Amino acid sequence: MSLEFALLGFLNYQSMTGYELKQFMDVSTSNFWHAKQSQIYTTLKKMEEKGFVTSEVEVQDGRPDRRIYTIMPAGQNALQAWLEQAVTDLQPKKELLLLKLFFSSSVDKQTLLAQLHLQRGLHQQQAALYKTETKAIIEQFAAIVGNSQDALLWDATRHYGELFEEMTVRWLDETIALIEQTE
Amino acid sequence: MSLEFALLGFLNYQSMTGYELKQFMDVSTSNFWHAKQSQIYTTLKKMEEKGFVTSEVEVQDGRPDRRIYTIMPAGQNALQAWLEQAVTDLQPKKELLLLKLFFSSSVDKQTLLAQLHLQRGLHQQQAALYKTETKAIIEQFAAIVGNSQDALLWDATRHYGELFEEMTVRWLDETIALIEQTE
DNA sequence: GAATACATGTAAAATGTTACATGATTTT
DNA sequence: AAAATCATGTAACATTTTACATGTATTC
């Protein structure tokens, strides 16, 4: 359901293919929303049946044909209604690392510490990515679109990713220290 | 898949019913792992077919019968192997609020601020819950089990929830301030 | 008298992942 | 010569949610 609105959100800026939608998601919303290429294609098909989008095939030579999707008024209305509707509850999270940690009292101390150090590296790297590359990409998009409100909101979501990763690194450091102190 | 291990993790402490597993999850791992009652029942059935658990029906009068699940050696081995296997990648997240915010440049300033304030309240409340009730429940469980390593790990996962909620509140405050400054 | 807790489960639908299939062009 | 990019899609599978169905005992 939400994926439909994410796709409508992108198509509301400009018409594009499923392949391009995947690329845009990967560099902008992957921080808080993602989808596999195959799911994007099947979802676009359903959206077309609903009348939210239309598509046209662009024949190319030497390249596979492209199916370009365009948002329809019904899609724009659905998008706007969704945007205006508040999120009234907390979203349940799933964190595999935490689930394992919860049940890990039987795991050897060194094994556990190695797992946490591995994760620390990944989150540290991700924090750095949000501060540099992601920031640059978003600024570039904002310059093209030229809407300062878009720029502000896009950077707010990027900053969330940065804060989240930094918090996770701090928590991992604390947790590593706690485990190191055990017998 | 991960739900199977979560259930094995609980059953490794003591045998119990699907109903009880749901209750334990709700007060301990809901912060980072959750499941609906119906999914727990269907998953337990699959686990029994695999030989990870066995079940026995306890007949009750005046109450519906209870099906009590017990972990089997195959289940204990699978659990231990899963615990020892490191999480080698970052888990992709989904945050509905962020997705909406990303596309919300067309949303009226007051509507948007109201949505963010609503979320701030929810996250603030959740942070308080982790610091008080959740902390008390975990300490109580730890006292019963009497294993200090369990107590340490359980509190580490609880603390993650606390840090996450506090970070979210800070980010919401910053974002609200940014949006208020716009024309 | 109504709502909640106890306790189980099935069926259907929605959502998401993995694997398969094709084939030219461009980069390493 | 191999791998990645471009570009689409289907099929099968796995996961998750929602809705339905049942019925007693206890609490408000």
Domain ranges of chain A: 2-84, 96-181
B86-96 tens-digit pLDDT: 999 999 999 99
Please list every residue in chain B whose beta carbon sits closer than 8 Å to the beta carbon of residue A39: none
- Alpha-carbon dihedral sign for residues B61, B66, B72, B76: negative
Mean pLDDT, rounded, for B36-54: 95
CATH (one of 1.20.1250.20, 1.10.240.10, 1.10.260.40, 1.10.10.10) for B2-84? 1.10.10.10
Please answer yes or no on whether A111 and B84 come within 8 Å at the CB atom: yes
Question: What integer pLDDT is reported at residue A158 of this predicted model?
Answer: 97
CB A176 within 8 A of CB A117: yes
CA distance A51 to chain B (A): 21
Question: What integer pLDDT is reported at residue A88 of this predicted model?
Answer: 93
Q: Does B39 touch chain A (CB under 8 A)?
A: no
- Alpha-carbon dihedral sign for residues A75, A83, B178, A31: negative
Please list every residue in chain B whose beta carbon sits closer than 8 Å to the beta carbon of residue A152: 178-179, 182
A111-125 tens-digit pLDDT: 999 999 999 999 999
Question: What integer pLDDT is reported at residue A62 of this predicted model?
Answer: 66
- Which residues of chain A are under the pLDDT cut of 50? none
Q: How many Å apart are CA A133 and CA A19, to the nearest integer? A: 21
Q: Which residues contact A114 (CB under 8 A, 6 or more apart)?
A: B86
A to B CB pairs, distance under 8 Å? 182
**Closest partner CB to B32 (pick from A28, A80, A99):** A99
Q: Which nucleotides of D are covered by protein (CB under 7 A)?
A: 6-11, 14-20, 22-25
Q: Does B81 touch chain A (CB under 8 A)?
A: no
Mean pLDDT, rounded, for B48-56: 95
Q: Is the pLDDT of residue B62 over 70?
A: no
Question: What integer pLDDT is reported at residue A52 of this predicted model?
Answer: 97
Q: What mean pLDDT value characterizes chain B?
A: 94
Supply the pTM of this predicted model.
Answer: 0.94
Question: What integer pLDDT is reported at residue A65 of this predicted model?
Answer: 81
Q: Is B1 (CB) below 7 Å from strand D?
A: yes
Q: How many Å apart are CA B165 and CA A84, to the nearest integer? A: 24
Judged by phi (left if over 0) then psi (alpha if -120 to 50, else beta), residue B153 lies in: alpha
Q: Considering only CA atoms, which of A9, A3, A10 is closest in space to residue A45?
A: A3
Q: Does A79 touch chain B (CB under 8 A)?
A: yes
Q: Is the pLDDT of residue B8 over 70?
A: yes
pLDDT band at residue B141, thresholds of 50, 70 and 90?
Answer: confident
Please answer yes or no on whether B102 and A159 come within 8 Å at the CB atom: no
Please list every residue in chain A whose beta carbon sits closer than 8 Å to the beta carbon of residue B71: none
Please answer yes or no on whether A178 and B156 come within 8 Å at the CB atom: yes
- Burial letters B126-159, b for 16+ CB under 10 A, else e: bbeebbeebbeebeebbeeeeeebbbbbbbbbbb
CB B83 within 8 A of CB A115: no
Please list every residue in chain A whose beta carbon sits closer than 8 Å to the beta carbon of residue B130: none
| Å: B38 CA to D21 C1' | 13
**Closest partner CB to B83 (pick from A33, A82, A100):** A100
